[in-house]
Every structure is written in C-alpha cells, then in structure tokens.
Amino acid sequence: SAVISQKPSRDICQRGTSLTIQCQVDSQVTMMFWYRQQPGQSLTLIATANQGSEATYESGFVIDKFPISRPNLTFSTLTVSNMSPEDSSIYLCSVEEETGSSSGANVLTFGAGSRLTVL
Amino acid sequence: GQNIDQPTEMTATEGAIVQINCTYQTSGFNGLFWYQQHAGEAPTFLSYNVLDGLEEKGRFSSFLSRSKGYSYLLLKELQMKDSASYLCAVRDSNYQLIWGAGTKLIIKP
C-alpha cells in the first residue's frame, strides 16, 4: 500500500497565525483527502485535493480558512489560516487505494497525522 | 441526517472475545468499513463488508446486516496490542464516507 509522509507531526501555534501541513505520497494518486479528527469525534472530511484543479470543500469548510495546494500527483499541502483554539485538532492526509480483494473495495490509507494545538 | 452509532468505550480481558457494534442510518449504502487506530497513529484498514454475512480475517471478523443497518467487529483471542480505537464507516449512495466516532477498546491482563 501507499506510504504517506506527513509533517509536521505536531505543533503548538499562537492564535491568529497560520500553519501549513505537508503530505507526500510515494506513488502517484489522483485524489488526496484532508480530514480533521477532533478529540472524541468522528473523522470529518475537509476537502478533496485534485491535481490541476481547485480542491472540493465539504460543507462547513471554506478555501479562505483551509487553502489547499496540489502541485503534482504525489504532494499536497493544507494550510490552517488565522487559527483559533477551536482549530486544535489532528489533521490527516489520506489517499484511496484498491484492496485487491474480490470485493473490489477502495480503502483509505492515512498519513500519521498532524496534531495542532492552538493557544 | 446521516449517523453512525458505536459505543464510546469497551473493556475486555486478554485472551477473551469482544464484539464491537455499529448501527448506521445513511442515505443509501455502498459498503461498510472497519478501521483500527492506535493512540497517536493513523487509522488502518481492517475489514470491508458490502453483502450480508460474516467476513473472517484471522482473529478479526466483521458481520453485516443491511436490513437492520447493523454491523459488528468481533475480535478473538484478545492481545494487549489490540488496545486501540475501532472506527466504523459507511459509504453512502453518493460514495461519501460517513464515520462513527470510534470505540476505544481497553484490554486488561
């Protein structure tokens, strides 16, 4: 399966600043997904990053707050802008892969996540 | 609205069997996934069910009943390393993944 490198693994940020999270995949993929995981809550999809086009954002997430870049088929960045304590969360990058099983399911492979704490 | 329900936390004993339930209400159904997530790590894929019945994979099995909107993950011969959160996710008719909040499983010696 794909190997995803994500950095930073964790950071402590000041209110009002912005932080960019990088995600590198060891193979070319069409779509890359950015998720947020807040303590005790389910994974929430922020946006889907496609190479060569604008990212597609889910309800409740906007480009001004979470700008995304996708310069090639192996790399993407997510910026968390003008951070507030409510943005403290784990941010996960993921890609979709075929399992190779008879069911034909596509499953998600995740990066190790970036744990952001906003003071 | 769409939702996935699973217990917040469960405790079991090493060597025993535990069943983690997941019920779902989604707009359409295109498969159900179970993921394992150790503390501070990424979720990793465990199993996939799209048809009713039991899928067995070593010590782990997953069951699905589409008519009841119900699945369970069965873990046998529990080991300490099985202490983790277990996430249930359903792909709806739009192929969107709807995630449960996860069940934290604590294994005691």
Whether A3 shows a pLDDT value over 70: the answer reads: yes
How does residue A103 score in pLDDT terms, banded at 50, 70 and 90? low
Residues of B in contact with A45 (CB under 8 A): 96-97
- Condensed to tens digits (0 to 9), the pLDDT of residues A56-68 reads 999 999 999 999 9
What pLDDT is recorded for position A62? 96
| Residue B17 tokens, joined | 């069997």
Query: Are A42 and B8 a contacting pair at CB < 8 A?
Result: no
Residues of A with CB under 8 A from a CB of B: 4, 40-45, 92, 99, 101, 103, 105, 107-113, 115
- CB-CB contact of A109 with A55 (8 Å): no
How does residue A101 score in pLDDT terms, banded at 50, 70 and 90? low
Percent of all residues in chain A with a pLDDT value above 70, rounded to a whole number: 95
Q: Is B90 on the interface with A (CB under 8 A)?
A: no
Query: Are A43 and B44 a contacting pair at CB < 8 A?
Result: no
- CB-CB contact of B34 with B24 (8 Å): no
Distance from CA of B107 to the nearest CA of A (A): 19
Measured distance CA(A39)–CA(B44) in Å, rounded: 18
Among the ranges given (A39-43, A97-101, B9-13, B38-42), the one the predictor scored with the smallest mean pLDDT:
A97-101
What pLDDT is recorded for position A22? 98
Which residue of chain A is at minimal alpha-carbon distance from B86? Answer: A42
Measured distance CA(B32)–CA(B29) in Å, rounded: 8
What pLDDT is recorded for position A99? 66
Query: Are B101 and A103 a contacting pair at CB < 8 A?
Result: no
Query: Are A43 and B99 a contacting pair at CB < 8 A?
Result: yes
What pLDDT is recorded for position A52? 81
What pLDDT is recorded for position B101? 93
What pLDDT is recorded for position A104? 62
- CB-CB contact of A89 with A104 (8 Å): no
Quick one: which of A46, A41, A50 has its CA closest to A58? A46
Instruction: Find the mean pLDDT for residues A5-14.
Output: 96
Measured distance CA(A34)–CA(A69) in Å, rounded: 11
What pLDDT is recorded for position A100? 58
Instruction: Find the mean pLDDT for residues A67-79.
Output: 95
- Condensed to tens digits (0 to 9), the pLDDT of residues A21-36 reads 999 999 999 999 999 9
10-residue stretch averages of pLDDT, chain B, 109 residues long: 93 98 96 94 93 94 97 98 97 92 96
Distance from CA of B77 to the nearest CA of A (A): 25
- CB-CB contact of B105 with B20 (8 Å): yes
Report, in angstroms and rounded to the nearest whole number, the Rg of chain A calculated over CA atoms: 14
**Average pLDDT along chain A:** 92
Q: In the block, which residue shows the tokens 């997530």? A: B37
